[in-house]
Homo-oligomer: A and B are copies of this chain.
Amino acid sequence: MKSDSFYYAVIFSSQRNSSDCAGYEQMAERMVELAKIQKGFLGMESSRGSDGFGITVSYWQTLEDISAWKSNSEHKIAQEFGRSKWYESFSTRVCKVEREYGVGK
């Protein structure tokens, strides 16, 4: 997941409403597949609890890669659906990863 020097994380937090679960799942899976083939994509991890609150973190090589992904036309449609239909609230934070540590990965 690491690039040579540093890399970036996009923290996307969202509260799902209860509408259109099938449509949401389908779009979410498609966005994962689409993100994976974007330039600079390094990885992604995601969780959502039974209360509908979820966090997805995607990792990218550069800020430009993140901007390009944000502007991707299919992704923009998904964002619009999310805003108008699927999310009660959401927030996005773009971060520079300064250091990391962990086990078992």
Binding site for B on A (CB under 8 A): 8-9, 11, 13, 15, 45-50, 53-55, 57, 63, 83, 87-105
Contact = CB atoms under 8 A, between A and B. Distances in A.
Nearest to A57: B11
A93 to B, nearest CB: 4
A89 B54 CA distance: 20
Nearest to A102: B91
A57 B13 contact: yes
Contacts of A9: 9, 11, 93, 95
Contact of A49 (B47, B92, B97): B47
Residue in A9, A47, A53 with the greatest tally of chain B CB atoms within 10 Å: A47
